[in-house]
Amino acid sequence: MDCHWVRKEERLPLSKGKLLSKQFVIKGEAIVGGFAVGYAVYYEDVLTRELALWKLGEHQAEGELKRLRKAMRKTQADLSRLKSKVTSQIDAQHAEIFGVHQLILQDVDLFKEIEEELRNRLLNAEQIVQNVFQRREKRLKKVKNDTLSEKSADVADVGRRLLKVLIGVKESNLSDLPPDSVIFAHRLLPSDTASLNTEHVKAIVTVEGSQNSHSAILARALDIPFVSKINVPLSTIRSKMQVIVDGEVGQIIANPGPKALAVYPGRIQKRALKKLAVVQRLQNKTLESAGKRIRISANVSSLNEVKMAKLFGADGIGLFRTEPLYMEKPNLPSEDDLYEQLNRILEQAPGQEITLRLLDIGGDKTLPFIDIAEIKDAALGLNGIRLLLKYPSLLKMQLRVFLKLSAKHNVRILVPMVSLPKDMMEVNRYLFEEKKRLRKEKIPFNESLPVGAMIETPAALFAIDEILKSSDFLSLGTNDLVQYVMAAGREKPDVADYYEAGNRLILNVLKPVIDKAGEQGKECNICGELGANLKFTDDLLRLGLRNFSVQPALIPNIKNKIYRLLTDPKGIRPLNSV
């Protein structure tokens, strides 16, 4: 979908050529709750747009297919970058859909269908691709199976991405929308929501959508109001028209009058205050169980998220993903650039403990300036600390930057994808070398900078005693751990029930890790999705876990749930009831 702003004099006409200037209400389905006041931005779908058409000579068909293959390769690369971006900035679970999109594009039958139609009809590739993907989308929509029917949006998303490459349209840049934007679209696909600038996008309104669509899941994670299945054509809404979106009841007030404009800002404030009330109610109360404090920190990857974490009362930054600082650049950032970027962000969290994760690249996350050879299953390849040890210059520069930051900020280092004790031993060896260099240069740093291991492989569970010897703390990365324990890929819909079952099964293997860390007086926290799942909060507390790290918007929910559990007369249930 391409962002399309209409100038004031180009307002979209209503029936009978009239423009509606009075307030009117549009009904829809509430997908994500919340309220917003903003201005309409029309977002157009390239898959349904009228495209240029031209006939080919038989001798031109091969050249057109060559152009198509090139476009498909570029689309695959774009999907890979987008998957990496979402994984680092939000989480791997929300990035899984782009792996599915890559599989759709790799379908041999898809290319055969396009090739056969192109040779038979001798039309330009854009026309054939549009026809084939529209046909496949409609076919899936007719299937009387919710799972298969919902996949129609994935097929459409892949088709539009391929079309945009063929046409030469630049990638949609939803990170560059004007302030107070309310996006109106026939549908909003995963690749669209992935690039949303949450500071400027106030709400989303679509004709098509569902509670379980990928866009809805992502909007929910970003706390953006979302209304779908509206009962009027999109042309009813003029670009830049002022609108109010009520995500609680599923309605849009267009051209709001003075009364509505007076009411809804108060509702927005009330909702925000409700969240803040939880923060304020608990800010002077120490959450603790059995004499141990319970801390709720934030997973972040940007300045905006650090500010959100502060707003929602985070006890610290339990996971700072550094990947976006690399992914947003075509070249490797210099040591000074990396230091300045991080320092500017960390200044927004004075005095708080901040866990900086070393660059977690490989598998589902790639960098444009590092050539990582693809393997059949990237999750079993060169990723996390394995990749950094293969490229020690990358590792040493990060360690040096983190050490310099430790002179001004309360930081600690987290090592991703630890499998063997030697992983931690090697990191500590490189850290020792960088400390020597900084002393020689008379650059200050924290001599006791803590270094922790991220436990997200079964191997780490088996070797936990030895890993603890070289670690100051542990962090449970349950997303990958569940995947590896269950042998069920997060991107494999056919085994989704196995992956889901792993969330409960894994509790049994976390208990010894938490206990052993506690016996040595070392902190163990959880930064995976399991820690943000309210269904498991009680279980995790009973396991002895006292440190959680979740997305900033979820902090009030987690704090409130724990407070209720602690103040319940029945208290936290006995451990043997897990």
Which whole number is the average pLDDT over 298-325? 89
Q: Are residues 86 and 182 in the same domain?
A: no
Q: Are residues 350 and 488 in the same domain?
A: yes
Q: How far apart are CA 300 and CA 319, in angstroms?
A: 6
Can you spell out the DSSP letters for 492-521?
-GGGHHHHHHHHHHTHHHHHHHHHHHHHTT
Residue tagged 């610290």 (tokens):
316
What range does the domain containing 242 cover? 2-46+172-257
Q: Are residues 337 and 350 in the same domain?
A: yes
In the predicted model, is pLDDT for residue 480 greater than 80? yes
In the predicted model, is pLDDT for residue 16 greater than 50? no
The reply to whether 118 falls in a domain is yes
Q: How far apart are CA 385 and CA 416, in angstroms?
A: 6
The reply to whether 336 falls in a domain is yes
Residue with more model confidence, 436 or 367: 436
* 138-186 pLDDT, tens digit each: 888 777 666 666 677 788 888 888 888 888 766 555 667 888 999 988 7
Q: Which active-site residues does the annotation give?
A: 214, 527
Short-list 343, 417, 406, 341, CA closest to 379: 417
Short-list 304, 305, 46, 35, CA closest to 182: 35
Residue with more model confidence, 193 or 421: 421
Short-list 262, 195, 268, 182, CA closest to 230: 182
Short-list 22, 299, 405, 3, CA closest to 174: 3
Residue with more model confidence, 454 or 334: 454
Q: What is the pLDDT of residue 237?
A: 79
Maximum mean pLDDT: which of 176-190, 245-259, 374-388, 493-507: 245-259
Final residue before a domain boundary, out of 167, 187, 206: 167
CA 72 to chain centre: 24
Evaluate whether 514 touches 524 at the Cβ level (below 8 Å): yes
Which whole number is the average pLDDT over 437-451? 97
Residue with more model confidence, 511 or 231: 511
Q: Identify the CATH number of the domain in which residue 134 sits.
A: 1.10.274.10
Distances (CA, A) of 9 to 6, 15, 16, 17, 26: 8, 17, 17, 14, 24
> Lowest-pLDDT range, 180-194, 255-269, 522-536?
180-194
Evaluate whether 54 touches 123 at the Cβ level (below 8 Å): yes
**Numbered residues of the known binding site for Mg(2+):** 456, 480
Q: Which residues does residue 299 pair with via DSSP β-bridges, in sequence order? A: 319
Q: What is the pLDDT of residue 178?
A: 87
Q: Are residues 110 and 186 in the same domain?
A: no
The reply to whether 265 falls in a domain is no
Residue with more model confidence, 489 or 490: 489
Q: Are residues 438 and 569 in the same domain?
A: yes
Residue tagged 């509790």 (tokens):
507
Q: Identify the CATH number of the domain in which residue 376 sits.
A: 3.20.20.60
Q: What is the pLDDT of residue 436?
A: 97
- Look at the chain and report how many structural domains it folds into: 3
Q: Mean of the per-residue pLDDT values for the chain?
A: 82
Q: Are residues 462 and 560 in the same domain?
A: yes
The reply to whether 326 falls in a domain is yes
**Numbered residues of the known binding site:** 321, 357, 456, 479-480, 490
Q: Are residues 308 and 427 in the same domain?
A: yes
**Numbered residues of the known binding site for phosphoenolpyruvate:** 321, 357, 479-480, 490
Q: Are residues 158 and 197 in the same domain?
A: no
Tell whether pTM > 0.75: no
Q: Are residues 459 and 497 in the same domain?
A: yes
First-to-last CA distance in the chain?
A: 47
Residue tagged 């502060």 (tokens):
310
Q: How far apart are CA 403 and CA 407, in angstroms?
A: 7
Evaluate whether 94 touches 301 at the Cβ level (below 8 Å): no
The reply to whether 121 falls in a domain is yes
